[in-house]
């Protein structure tokens, strides 16, 4: 070894030494090191000063709370959180075990450990030389806390620099006891369990303050590998790790060897206890809230779940609870089997979602929400939006006569058919809508122009594409389809006097420090139709649930307007008797309710009759929701009521004219009789006079 050093020294003096001295490489090396140190200091200082650590405890302690439209708590998003406990509520058997194993100098360092960093650098260099993929962290408990709370898990130099400076900043704000408590409350213990309190309950059925020495040692040992040292799945590995932690306590002078030996002889004694601190009571609504916060307000899911926000929403808890109960009722699902459904209820004036259910069966966190995410053919429910309302805006009337016989349209000779191939003489527009005839709807679209109909759909918020600009659009034949939420939003324009209200779930978001970061007090509205057109459309659609295709869902004791729709199964024999989608849309001046039923697989067919699909569910939900509203009356009456009133007035007029004629004729007859009697009396008087003269 001595000869090797001498040889290296000689080689240096002969070749590298002169070059090193000539170019003053020592100075350059020192300058380089100082520059690197300066850059690191700038990055670290910037990170520490721009990251708010003052609300860290509040973020970790508080779960994100969800509030309903009245400001009442509706639930919470626990995310990667358990039940938070203070330092005083954590047994010293745990804290001693954690410090003995994870960070023995915790109370003597200022957020980072020079020794630990140096050791980690040396070990990582050795791992790279030997090709070992292992990584040594060298992080203190404070560094681990800020890594989990503020940073990613990536192993980079920049991340380590940020971690170090943030740790120093946290140490300035919080006491050591607070930091240790935050670390243990934010730690993962396998089985989906976060925090020392829930872990104590999960594996031992006791509170964190009641943990014994062996129990505390086992949980402390799990921190290194929560899944690998899971006592329920790997009891032998968990015991070996626990015994190592007990030995660490001996080295840390918190336990004698004799006591450690006695405790190491004990079995692990961990059993599975049920732990449920979740309050995810309205899963599809909460999913939608998270989606809106992420997609519209650009928050991150992990922040929403972990950072203790207060999210105020448009939910009506009574409507939401009732709707969830309805979906759990098999009698309201006549399709049965593994069929699916979705319902969304909007406040017509504000567009706020009162209730939403996105499917039947087991809920998957942020999985498919059929109320907001599916794209299905809307069938005849699209007719008021792209056919009849634009037609009324261009001079048509509710009683305009429309052709209802077989005909073709466009250069490709598109030939729509009515259900059951029914044709009739020309029909009034309101009857065509009530009976959901297809031919009149396509004819109307031809009259107003494809582009006019297409632009009406776009303005109503429907996700139409250029491929949809054809006559099939008139009866709901779209390239991709629509969601129930999109249809509900569009129909608010009819319920709200021509103004479409933007659908939304969130009204306000407040962070853990109390700062309001989202405030949407004033809902956005877009005028689609004039008040006159909206009223005429409502007047026509009031007949759908009393005289048309919606009779099976007509709510007892309440008046609703709306439209139904089905999509015929393409390519099936007798396709007029089977469908793939069933829609029911109903509204009052207060709410819009949209329900879709069918199968996720569109090749599976259902009945075309509302009574055998969405009808029972829609009827039940309307009878629950409407009484929970202001029950505002419609400003208009149905076309049929208007016609009855007009017929009654016409009959009254006829009766009046007939009576007047009879009176006149009676008076003439009476006058003639009186005149005759007078003449007769006069003649008699004259005759008597003549006789008197002659007699004389």
Of the candidates 76, 200, 288, 380, the residue annotated as catalytic is 380
Residue 570, CB-side half-sphere exposure with 13 Å CA sphere: 5
Cβ-based neighbours of 349, under 8 Å, separated by 6 or more: 492, 496, 501, 523, 590
Cβ–Cβ < 8 Å for 416, 439: yes
Cβ–Cβ < 8 Å for 369, 357: no
Query: Is position 136 annotated as part of the catalytic site?
Result: no
Tokens of 197: 């309190």
Query: Is position 278 annotated as part of the catalytic site?
Result: no
Q: What letter would DSSP give residue 384?
A: I
CA 366, chain centre distance (Å): 9
Rg, the chain, Cα only = 41
Q: Cα separation of 124 and 562, whole Å?
A: 69
Q: To 5 degrees, how large is the angle CA 100–CA 106–CA 112? A: 125
Q: Could you tell me which residues are beta bridge partners of residue 579? A: 568, 606
Q: What is the dihedral of CA 537, 541, 542, 544, to 10 degrees?
A: 170
Helix (H) or strand (E) holding 447: helix 439-448
Q: How far is CA 157 from CA 43, 125, 150, 472, in A?
A: 11, 14, 16, 59
Question: 3-state secondary structure string, 161-218?
Answer: HHHHHHHHHHHHHCCHHHHHHHHHHCCECCCCCECHHHHHHHHHCCCHHHCCHHHHHH
Helix (H) or strand (E) holding 365: none
Phi-psi domain of 136 (left: phi exceeds 0; alpha: psi -120 through 50; beta: other): beta
Q: Cα separation of 498 and 112, whole Å?
A: 63
Q: Could you tell me which residues are beta bridge partners of residue 356? A: 344
Cβ-based neighbours of 151, under 8 Å, separated by 6 or more: 159, 162, 163, 166
Of the candidates 76, 78, 102, 621, the residue annotated as catalytic is 102
Q: Cα separation of 493 and 490, whole Å?
A: 6
Cβ–Cβ < 8 Å for 561, 398: no
Catalogue the active-site residues. Answer: 102, 380
């Amino acid at each position: 070894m001595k000869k090797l050093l001498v040889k290296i020294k000689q080689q240096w003096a002969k070749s590298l030494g002169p070059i090193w001295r000539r170019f003053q490489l020592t100075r350059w090396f020192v300058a380089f090191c100082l520059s690197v140190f300066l850059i690191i200091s700038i990055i670290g200082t910037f990170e520490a000063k721009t990251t708010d650590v003052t609300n860290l405890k509040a973020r970790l302690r508080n779960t994100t709370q969800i509030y309903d439209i009245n400001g009442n708590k509706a639930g919470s998003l626990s995310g990667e959180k358990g039940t938070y406990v203070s330092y005083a509520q954590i047994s010293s058997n745990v804290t001693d075990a954690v410090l003995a194993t994870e960070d023995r100098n915790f109370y003597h360092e200022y957020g980072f450990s020079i020794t630990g960093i140096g050791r980690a650098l040396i070990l990582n260099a050795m791992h790279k030389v030997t090709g070992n993929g292992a990584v040594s962290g060298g992080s203190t408990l404070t560094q681990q806390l800020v890594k989990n709370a503020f940073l990613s898990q990536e192993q980079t130099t920049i991340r380590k620099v940020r971690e170090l400076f943030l740790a120093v900043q946290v140490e300035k704000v919080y006491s050591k006891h607070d930091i240790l408590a935050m670390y243990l409350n934010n730690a993962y213990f396998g089985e989906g369990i976060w925090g020392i309190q829930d872990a104590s309950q999960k594996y031992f059925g006791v509170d964190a303050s009641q943990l014994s020495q062996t129990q505390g040692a086992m949980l402390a040992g799990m921190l290194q590998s929560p899944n690998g040292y899971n006592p329920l799945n790997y009891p032998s590995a968990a015991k070996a790790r626990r015994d190592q932690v007990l030995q660490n306590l001996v080295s840390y002078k918190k336990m004698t060897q004799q006591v450690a030996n006695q405790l190491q002889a004990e079995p692990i004694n961990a059993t599975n206890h049920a732990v449920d601190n979740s309050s995810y009571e309205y899963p599809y609504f909460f999913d939608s809230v998270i989606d809106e916060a992420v997609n519209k307000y650009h928050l991150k899911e992990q922040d929403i779940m972990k950072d203790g926000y207060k999210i105020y929403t448009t939910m009506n808890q009574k409507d939401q609870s009732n709707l969830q109960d309805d979906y759990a009722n098999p009698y309201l699902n006549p399709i049965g089997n593994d069929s699916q459904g979705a319902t969304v209820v909007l406040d017509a004036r504000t567009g706020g979602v009162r209730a939403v259910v996105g499917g039947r069966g087991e809920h998957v966190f942020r999985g498919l929400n059929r109320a907001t995410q599916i794209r299905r053919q809307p069938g005849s429910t699209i007719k008021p939006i792209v056919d009849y309302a634009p037609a009324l805006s261009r001079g048509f009337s509710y009683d305009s006569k429309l052709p209802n016989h077989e005909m073709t349209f466009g250069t490709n000779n598109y030939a729509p058919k009515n259900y059951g191939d029914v044709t009739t003489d020309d029909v009034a527009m309101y009857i065509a809508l009530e009976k959901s005839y297809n031919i009149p709807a396509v004819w109307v679209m031809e009259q107003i122009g494809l582009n006019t109909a297409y632009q009406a759909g776009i303005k109503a918020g429907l996700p139409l594409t250029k491929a949809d600009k054809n006559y099939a659009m008139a009866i709901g034949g779209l390239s991709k389809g629509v969601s129930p939420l999109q249809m509900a939003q569009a129909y608010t324009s009819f319920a709200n006097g021509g103004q479409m209200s933007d659908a939304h779930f969130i009204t306000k978001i407040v962070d853990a420090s109390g700062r309001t970061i989202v405030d949407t007090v004033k809902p956005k509205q877009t005028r689609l139709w004039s008040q006159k057109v909206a009223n005429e459309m409502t007047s026509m659609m009031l007949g759908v649930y009393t005289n048309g295709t919606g009779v099976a869902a007509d709510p007892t004791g309440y008046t609703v307007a709306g439209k139904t729709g089905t999509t015929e199964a393409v390519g099936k024999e007798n396709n007029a008797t089977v469908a793939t989608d069933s829609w029911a849309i109903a509204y009052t001046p207060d709410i819009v309710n949209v329900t879709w039923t069918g199968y996720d697989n569109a090749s599976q067919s259902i009945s075309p009759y509302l009574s055998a699909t969405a009808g029972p569910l829609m009827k039940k939900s309307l009878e629950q929701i409407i009484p929970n509203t202001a029950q505002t009356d419609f400003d208009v009456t149905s076309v049929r009521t208007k016609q009855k009133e007009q017929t009654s007035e016409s009959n009254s007029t006829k009766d009046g004219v007939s009576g007047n004629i009879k009176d006149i004729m009676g008076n003439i007859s009476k006058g003639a009789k009186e005149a005759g009697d007078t003449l007769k009396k006069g003649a008699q008087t004259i005759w008597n006079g003549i006789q008197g003269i002659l007699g004389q």
